[in-house]
Amino acid sequence: MRQGGSAALVVAAGLACLIGGCAGDSGPQARGSRMLSPADFVASGGTGGAPVAVTPTPAQPAPGGVLDVNLAERRETPSQRPVEITGPVGESRGLADVRGRVGAPETGPAGTPVGGPVLVDAKIGEVNGKPIFASTFFDVGSPTQEPLGRRLAARAKEAGRQAWLEFAAKEIVSRLDEIIRPELLRAEALSNLPQEKQQGLFAWVQNLQEEARRQSGGSQEAFKRKLAEDDLTPEQMLRMRQESALIYLELQQKVERRLNVTARDISQAYNGRFFDRFHHPPRYQFRLIMTPKDATEDVARIEQALAAGTPFEDVATLRANRYKRDDDPAKAGLEVREIADPASMGEVFASPVLNRAAGELTPGGTSPRLDVGTSWAWLHLSGIVGPPDEYAAQLPIEDELLRERRRIAEARYLERLAGRASVTSIPQMREQLLKIAIERYLPATAR
């Protein structure tokens, strides 16, 4: 008890120093304050203020180890009852001796989990200080694409585990690039664009926005309703156009200006890597119509259309045709064969009847009705396309070479930007996103 009393006096003295200031040359007495003394901790009674010893009331143990802090005997309403204090303090009736003890901490009984752990959200990484969260990555789409999570969940229902993993990995790489690429280009373009040109660019974009509003009828509300159809607001549209303009300027300055395809490049590609594409045998473009013999109405419909002079390509799109009609209408009944020697076509079709008819046709000609097993058939030769010469092939070759070189140059430039920017490791983000996708969308039996 003496040790407890000494400790109380030390604590009281410390509080007095913090509240009123400790004694010194300019102590509390100089400021009109009074220093606490041990007598202040003894109850006083009577009129003279003489110290009166306090006789402690024997503490009665509270039921169930609960400390009853109401030592006076009085009636109280339930709302006035003292707060129940439990635990070690309650068991010691307010006289707990708190002491340090070496050893491992003791914990209470562990709670019972109601289910397995569930990932609510996760920060995948950052691009120039902008965080990438799993919820935004999987659950938020774009004006041109639905949310990625929806596609992954649908794919998981119809594909096996390995096919789904390949699909998910490819989609994650593509979507992550859609986030990183524009941000790197936008930030670089904005940092390189002078302030006066930034203002001019933004004014130009606002003019575009105003023109779009006028085309919507001139009303701001009509403009908002039109954008709402694509889940956009005018502010989002303005920001998208600004970013698109900045990205376009950056690519023009740093990538497009350095691309060049010469006539020598085209000639080398024509006679080299693209040789098979532009040095093939003549291609015979046949159209074939077939229908069962017992479908008399369809047979009559086809013959009537051909007799009336309807183009064979249009007749091939009719429901009466059973051969390749469900494909693209432009390709209905289309069969292309490369024939090096027209004098000996060989096995162009599986049916000898069709082979004989093919050898007798000239461009634009149509065979009579042919008996092919259980079906009637009509064969038409739309035309013969020879291999293009170098002059005719230079435009498609130039376009393909430009696309290829643009893709390589842009990838290298983005790699340099990523090295200078603040970007979380891209392979690390891809791996983490794939793990989250497996946990979210792949069925437990396939994991």
pLDDT for 400: 95
Q: Stretch 205-230: mean pLDDT, rounded?
A: 79
Query: For residue 3, what pLDDT is reported?
Result: 46
pLDDT (average), residues 331-357: 87
* CB-CB contact of 122 with 133 (8 Å): yes
Read off the pLDDT of residues 308-322 as tens digits, 9 standing for 90 and up.
999 999 999 999 999
Q: Is the dihedral of CA 209, 214, 217, 220 positive or negative?
A: positive
Q: Is 380:312 a contact under the CB 8 Å cutoff?
A: yes
- Judge whether residue 32 has pLDDT over 70: no
Span of 42-46, 155-159, 213-217, 383-387 with lowest mean pLDDT: 42-46
What value does the mean pLDDT take over residues 340-360?
85
Which residue did the predictor score with more confidence, 110 or 265? 265
Which letter, b or e, does each residue of 364-401 get, where b requires 16 or more Cβ atoms within 10 Å of its Cβ? eebbeebebeebbbbbbbbeeeeebeeeebbeebbeeb
Residue 53 pLDDT > 70: no
Residue type at position 45: G
Q: What pLDDT, on a 0 to 100 scale, did the predictor assign at position 13?
A: 44
Per-residue pLDDT at 89 exceeds 80: no
pLDDT of 90 reads: 52
In the structure, what pLDDT confidence band is assigned to residue 262 with cuts at 50, 70 and 90?
Answer: very high
Q: Which residue would you say has higher pLDDT here, 99 or 354? A: 354
Q: What is the pLDDT of residues 33-46, one digit of tens each?
A: 456 555 555 555 44
Which pLDDT does position 19 carry in this prediction? 36
Give the residue, 235 or 302, on which the prediction is more confident: 302
Sorted by sequence, the CB contacts under 8 Å of residue 179 that are 6+ apart come out as 127, 132, 137
* Residue 261 Cα to chain centre, angstroms: 36
If one compares 112 and 321, the residue with the highest pLDDT of the two is 321
Higher pLDDT, 245 or 80: 245
3-state secondary structure the chain: CHHHHHHHHHHHHHHHHHHHCCCCCCCHHHHCCCCCCHHHHCCEECCCCEECCCCCCCCCCCHHHCECCCCCCCCCCHHHCCCCECHHHHHCCCCCCCCCCCCCCCCCCCCCCCCCCCCCCCEEEEECCEEEEHHHHHHCCECCECCHHHHHHHHHHHCCHHHHHHHHHHHHHHHHHHHHHHHHHHHHHHHHCCHHHHHHHHHHHHHHHHHHHHHCCCCHHHHHHHHHCCCCCHHHHHHHHHHHHHHHHHHHHHCHHHCCCCHHHHHHHHHCCCHHHHCCCCEEEEEEEEEECCCHHHHHHHHHHHHCCCCHHHHCCCCCCCCCCCCCHHHCCEEEEECCCHHHCCCCCCCHHHHHHHHHCCCCCECCCEEECCEEEEEEEEEEECCCCHHHHHHHHHHHHHHHHHHHHHHHHHHHHHHHCCECCHHHHHHHHHHHHHHHHCCHHHC
- The b-or-e profile of 123-150 (16+ CB within 10 A means b, else e) is ebbebeeeebebeebbeeeeeeeebbbe
Pick 58 or 138 by higher pLDDT. 138
pLDDT value for 64: 41
Mean pLDDT for 52-74 is 44
* Position 17 pLDDT exceeds 70: no
The yes-or-no verdict on residue 94 having pLDDT over 60 is: no
The percent of residues in the chain predicted with pLDDT above 90, rounded, is: 37
Residue 282: what are its φ and ψ, rounded to 5°?
-55, 140
pLDDT the model gives residue 109:
64
Q: Is the pTM of this model over 0.75?
A: no
Query: Does residue 63 have a pLDDT over 80?
Result: no
Q: Which residues face 130 on adjacent strands?
A: 127
pLDDT at residue 101 tops 80: no
Per-residue pLDDT of 18-29, as tens digits, reads 334 444 444 444
Q: Which residue in the block uniquely carries the two structure tokens 């990438």?
A: 132
> Taking all residues of the chain, what is their mean pLDDT, rounded to a whole number?
78
Query: What are the distances in angstroms from CA 350 to CA 101, 286, 372, 379?
Result: 93, 14, 11, 14
pLDDT for res 159 = 85
